[in-house]
Amino acid sequence: MTTQPHLFRPLAMRGLTLANRIAVSPMCQYNAIDGVPQPWHHQHLGSLSSSGPGLVMVEATGVTAQGRISPGCTGIYSEACEAAFAGVLRTVRATSPSAVGIQLAHAGRKASTNVPWKGSGPLTADDGAWETLSASAIPFAPTWHTPKAASRADMDGVVAAFVAAAGRAMRVGFDLVEVHSAHGYLLHQFLSPFSNKRTDQYGGSPENRMRFPLEVVAAVRAAWPAEKPMGMRISASEWTEGGFDPDEAVRYVKAAKALGLDYVCVSSAGNVHDAKVAVGPGYQVQFAEKIRRETGIVTRSVGMIVEPHQAEAIVASGQADMVALARAFLDDPRWVWRAADTLGAEAYCPRQYLRARPNLWPGAKLRMKAAAE
Ligand SMILES: Cc1cc2nc3c(=O)[nH]c(=O)nc-3n(C[C@H](O)[C@H](O)[C@H](O)COP(=O)(O)O)c2cc1C
């Protein structure tokens, strides 16, 4: 009897079983209009799901219009957004058996920026800049918008928006939701002593800085069906002395787990504009490993995971329970087939494409031979 590679073993969370440990990482496409996903999103998510990753994540999606990173970012705050996402999900369901999750996000002081092909910087008034919100009135970088320091009423509004977004995500039929608490966006801004200088019960000690993000986690968990998993993405390090660090991340994840969080995706950075991040193969796996070991939560690792053997080693050695890949999937939307062929596993293939698999296409052997040389 052959043993399935670890990467291709199922993973159960609540009532959902992922077919394998491979996730398509959330990736902003900057192609929405008023938050509403467009034909591009059907193409993007349909294509990336068609080799059967266990999970496909929809990009950081604003729970309010104000919380979008850019005017091109998706939102889940209107009837039109909800209806269009239902259509995108129908496309993916017709293409693939992958579970589909959505990342619920509020960009805080990093909202109101240009799309990357217009420079990513803060929008000008002529471009339609809007007021941004944060833990404190501290801009991300000197030339960026100075955000409004959130009042309790603003914070209540954000919690209510996350809850409403979870309700919309449920009606759309997503399999899971993931709260975006990483990359310098609003919840990370509360967690970090660099962006959070509050003197109330939401600032100062690590417990205080975690208080608001945990209120969001608790509210989303209460609004999201008990049989469906809920995750969170965090930045476990700011790569800057004195910042939110892996030890604080462990405390934060433990507290979120106690509130019913099912998994964490461990990323890093994004809140310190000039941080020196030591990017290299699997550079964030160390953080995932620590968090998994010290919290016992289902953990997803991400960041420069590119090769099937590398991904297999991360899961097989217990550094993480699953891996997320972003750019490797843009480079090769059939990454799951490559991994299956390399590791000796079965991968899902839509029947329309079966003639390109190695058992039916002699050309596959030529391609694999060329790749091995
Ligand atoms: C085009 C693009 C868009 C991204 N958008 C998001 C996003 O919406 N939410 C998020 O948490 N990370 C986002 N990221 C980060 C990726 O999910 C991932 O964490 C990062 O690219 C490192 O993984 P990789 O080395 O496999 O690309 C984005 C990355 C890319 C390349």
- Angle at which helices 206-223 and 152-172 cross, to 10°: 40
Annotated active-site residue 263? The verdict is: no
Strands 16-18 and 11-13: what pairing?
antiparallel
Dihedral pair phi/psi, residue 152, rounded to 5°: -60, -35
Distance, CA 59 to ligand 1 centroid (Å)? Answer: 8
Cβ contacts of 274 within 8 Å, gap of 6 or more: 141
DSSP characters over 123-161: PPTTTT----EESSS--SSTTSPPPEEPPHHHHHHHHHH
Position of tokens 């077919």? 19
Nearest to 288 by CA among 251, 239, 258, 246: 246
**Residues with Cβ within 8 Å of residue 58, at least 6 apart in sequence:** 26, 45, 74, 85, 88, 100, 101, 102, 103, 174
From residue 147, give the alpha-carbon distance in Å to each of 27, 109, 140, 235: 25, 5, 9, 21
DSSP 3: P
Within 13 Å of residue 373, how many CA atoms lie on the same side as its CB?
Answer: 6
Catalytic residue among 30, 185, 202, 348: 185
- Quote the ligand 1 centre to 2 CA distance (angstroms): 34
pLDDT of residue 341: 94
d(CA 175, CA 227): 10
Predicted local confidence at residue 371, as pLDDT: 83
Contacts of 177 (CB under 8 A, 6+ apart): 101, 102, 103, 104, 165, 166, 169, 220, 224, 228, 230, 231
- Ligand 1 atom showing the smallest separation from residue 267 Cα: 19
Query: CA angle, 67 as apex, 211 and 134 as ends, to 5°?
Result: 45
Instruction: Write down the CATH superfamily of domain 6-347.
Output: Aldolase class I (3.20.20.70)
Contacts of 133 (CB under 8 A, 6+ apart): 66, 67, 106, 108, 109, 111, 147, 148, 150, 154, 158, 186
How crowded is residue 299: how many other Cβ atoms within 10 Å of its Cβ?
Answer: 24
| Residues having CB within 6 Å of any atom of ligand 1 | 25-28, 59-60, 103, 180, 182-183, 233, 267, 302-305, 325-328
What is the distance in A from the centroid of ligand 1 to the CA of 199?
33
Q: b/e for 213-234, b at 16 or more Cβ within 10 A?
A: bbbbbbbbbebbeeebbbbbbb
Backbone angles phi, psi at 184, to 5 degrees: 80, 15
pLDDT tens by residue, 244-295:
999 999 999 999 999 999 999 999 999 999 999 999 999 999 999 999 999 9
Ranges under pLDDT 70 in the chain:
1-2
- Apex 16 CA angle, 352 and 339, nearest 5: 50
Domain boundaries, the chain: 6-347
Distance CA 269, CA 240 (A): 9
- Could you tell me which residues come within 8 angstroms of residue 204 by beta carbon, excluding any fewer than 6 positions away? 198
pLDDT score recorded for residue 122: 97
Of 25, 73, 102, 323, best ligand 1 pocket probe by most atoms within 8 Å of the beta carbon: 25
The total of other beta-carbon atoms located within 10 Å of residue 168's CB is: 24
Q: Which two tokens stand for residue 247?
A: 């030890």
Whole-structure pTM value: 0.97
Q: Give phi and psi for 56, each to the nearest 5.
A: -120, 125
Burial grade of 317 (CB within 10 A; 0-12, 13-18, 19 or more)? exposed
The span from the CA of 373 to the CA of 368, in Å, is 9
CA distance to 53, 122, 281, 363, per residue, from 356 (Å): 18, 45, 30, 8
Nearest CA owner, ligand 1 atom 18: 326
Q: Tell me, what's the pLDDT at 366?
A: 92
Q: Give how far Cα 68 sits from Cα of 42, 107, 318, Å.
A: 20, 6, 35
